[in-house]
Amino acid sequence: VSNLLVDIAQASHRVLLTQASPIDLRSNVAGKAYLAFRSGDRLSRPINKALFVFDENELLRRLAAFMNDRAAHLASADGPSTLYTIAMSYCAASDTVRLLDKKTPATYFEIFAGHLLADRFGANPQTSATVLNLDMKGDLPTDFIFDLGAGRSKFHVPIKISTRERVIQVWAHQRVLDGIYGAGRFRGLLVALTETKLDRKKLDVVEICLPDQWRVYQMFIAQLDRIYYLDPPAAYARLATGYPIVNVRPFSSFFSEADLLSGPS
Amino acid sequence: VSNLLVDIAQASHRVLLTQASPIDLRSNVAGKAYLAFRSGDRLSRPINKALFVFDENELLRRLAAFMNDRAAHLASADGPSTLYTIAMSYCAASDTVRLLDKKTPATYFEIFAGHLLADRFGANPQTSATVLNLDMKGDLPTDFIFDLGAGRSKFHVPIKISTRERVIQVWAHQRVLDGIYGAGRFRGLLVALTETKLDRKKLDVVEICLPDQWRVYQMFIAQLDRIYYLDPPAAYARLATGYPIVNVRPFSSFFSEADLLSGPS
């Protein structure tokens, strides 16, 4: 799977650089600058310039380092931009080839992040949990579940391109798992790409964030252990610094803290 | 608002009968027969024949009785089909006039059900709740909230054309209100039109229901007091008969039990 992801990243990156042209976007996000790739009347999603590796030779060097030791490379200073470039190359290239296809990038991103987690955990995910109760027995469909075995953590891992207004589902699913298995048995890790929104007429970019709602969910529905972003919005990153703590971090952090998270909670 | 709803129902019903033609659909739902109205290449959503008043004079009689005493008419044996015909006339007429417009019928249905509830409760709804906590103060946007005043119930009322996979949000919002205000302070009433799904090629109708997931939500996220349908699916209606109780009822029941629900819980 890593080989395939690297091949797809390389091919997508080449599609962007050779079959589309970059255009600058107006950023309404403090401290972030964006561009998009245009091909005919198709425009890619916004790309954060500081996180995207534009140079092909540099990307090839990164991909070789990634294949050589994935966890070490992703936990290094290069980690955030390597992760962002791999994920964004495919999603942006798809935007320039297929008009308004949202599903394929979402599926790709789930496989991308799910594989990296499985690789780091050394365990494959499941997508359902068993419900055992006095009156019912059955399988509840879930996002990815990683079970590292006896004495180690279990993880509930929803993976989304962006969270938007549906994110309350993530806390609600965490609550269901806490209810069925007991609080703390499953650590909730949400992985998201970005919260950018592009106005296709004005060509400006905003980040859509609802930090006060997240604080309410974290206090009253369930507790998520980590929310990882490939491009963390500042409004969410600040939630890690005050009560109620919502630990929003760059996805690259996962690759250094995975062992810590995998121990007894 | 009641006058407007009656005018819209009458005009929509006439559009269906005069500018569209009924075609029979194949029903895959036990005990229910459906038709749709077709106008050119536009096809309405499925209409449950047993609940829809086709005869215009009979509809006019119903609307006059409704205007004369809304609660009494809706609680009578005519209630279920009057409610269904008013709501479905507009939604189906909109389908035959505008291609795949989902938003207008959803907005209409929210106003329709919201008005009937406000009328019966004698209280207007709000759409936000105040969060007061040690570390934050603010307004949380919500579905309709009805506050009947000191010593009487408060209600949390989401209104949806159909629930589909997003219904977990309803239980999650109930959980947030329980957390902020204490369990039992807000009674959760969900109002939905139907769960039908039409295959536009095969012209057959199914009901999409996930009763086991609802039981899990009711056990582990929060407790909803009532789930009212204008066309209750049998798979959900059965949930009212075994643990965990999910009280699924026809919306017409609300108009007779509203006083009971409004007392101290």
Tens-digit pLDDT profile for residues A80-112: 999 999 999 999 999 998 766 788 999 999 999
Tens digits of residue pLDDT in A21-56: 999 999 999 999 999 999 999 999 999 999 999 999
Contact flag A221-B172 (C-beta cutoff 8 Å) = yes
Choose among B94, B83, B102, B115: nearest CA to B193: B83
The pLDDT score that the predictor gives to residue A214 is 94
Minimum Cα–Cα distance from B171: chain A residue: A172
- Ranges of H-type helices in A20-122: 56-68, 70-75, 79-97, 103-121
Contacts of A186 (CB under 8 A, 6+ apart): A145, A154, A155, A156, A174, A177, A178
What's the CA gap between B78 and B52, in Å, rounded?
A: 11
For residue B1, give the amino acid letter. Answer: V
Give the H/E segment covering residue A37: strand A34-39
Minimum Cα–Cα distance from A134: chain B residue: B243
Instruction: State the pLDDT confidence band at A231, using cuts at 50, 70 and 90.
Output: very high
Phi/psi of residue A117, nearest 5 degrees: -65, -45
Check residue B229 and report its DSSP letter.
E
The pLDDT score that the predictor gives to residue B134 is 65
Contact flag B172-A176 (C-beta cutoff 8 Å) = no
SS3 A194: coil
Q: How far does the CA of residue B169 sit from the closest CA of chain A (Å)?
A: 6
Tokens 């050779």 belong to which residue? A18
Residue B136, classified by CB atoms within 10 Å of its CB into exposed (0-12), middle (13-18) or buried (19+), is: middle
ipTM of the complex: 0.87
The pLDDT score that the predictor gives to residue A133 is 72
In the predicted structure, residue B265 carries a pLDDT above the cut 60 = no
Could you tell me the pTM of the whole model?
0.91
Instruction: State the pLDDT confidence band at A200, using cuts at 50, 70 and 90.
Output: very high
In the predicted structure, residue B28 carries a pLDDT above the cut 70 = yes
Tens digits of residue pLDDT in B145-195: 999 998 889 999 999 999 987 899 999 999 999 998 898 899 999 999 999
The pLDDT score that the predictor gives to residue B140 is 80
Contacts of B100 (CB under 8 A, 6+ apart): none
Tokens 């009347």 belong to which residue? A41
Residues of A in contact with B140 (CB under 8 A): 212-213, 216
Q: How far does the CA of residue A176 sit from the closest CA of chain B (Å)?
A: 5
What is the full DSSP assignment across B93-130? HHHHHSTT--HHHHHHHHHHHHHHHHHHHTS--EEEEE
Q: How far does the CA of residue B25 sit from the closest CA of chain A (Å)?
A: 30
Tell me which residues of chain B have a C-beta less than 8 Å from any C-beta of chain A.
131, 133-136, 138, 140-141, 166, 168-169, 171-173, 175-176, 178-180, 212-213, 215-217, 219-221, 242-244
Query: What integer is the mean pLDDT of A249-263?
Result: 94
CB–CB contacts below 8 A, A to B: 75
Contact (Cβ atoms closer than 8 angstroms) between residue A41 and residue A21: no
**B212's tokens:** 């086991």
- Which stretch of A95-104, A155-164, B250-259 has the lowest confidence by average pLDDT? A95-104
Query: What integer is the mean pLDDT of B82-99?
Result: 93
Instruction: State the pLDDT confidence band at A197, using cuts at 50, 70 and 90.
Output: very high
Q: How far does the CA of residue A234 sit from the closest CA of chain B (Å)?
A: 19
Omega cis (within 30) before B22: no
- Which stretch of B84-88, B131-135, B190-194 has the lowest confidence by average pLDDT? B131-135
Contact (Cβ atoms closer than 8 angstroms) between residue B162 and residue B192: yes
Instruction: State the pLDDT confidence band at A263, using cuts at 50, 70 and 90.
Output: confident
Contact flag A220-B169 (C-beta cutoff 8 Å) = no
For residue A12, give the amino acid letter. Answer: S
Q: Which of B175, B179, B216 sits opposite A131 (nearest CB)?
A: B216
Best of A220, A223, A243 to substitute, by most chain B Cβ atoms within 10 angstroms, is A220
Residue A78: Cβ within 10 Å count: 18
Cα B241–Cα B244–Cα B245 angle in degrees, nearest 5: 45
Instruction: State the pLDDT confidence band at A138, using cuts at 50, 70 and 90.
Output: confident
Mean pLDDT of chain B: 93
SS3 A175: helix
Inter-residue long-range contacts of A102-106, CB under 8 Å, 24+ positions, other chains counted: A102/A161, A105/A161, A106/A160, A106/A161
In the predicted structure, residue A17 carries a pLDDT above the cut 80 = yes
The pLDDT score that the predictor gives to residue A47 is 98
In the predicted structure, residue B42 carries a pLDDT above the cut 60 = yes
Mean pLDDT of chain A: 93
List C-alpha distances in Å: A227 to A81, A103, B7: 18, 22, 50
Tens digits of residue pLDDT in B195-214: 999 999 999 999 999 999 99
The pLDDT score that the predictor gives to residue B1 is 82
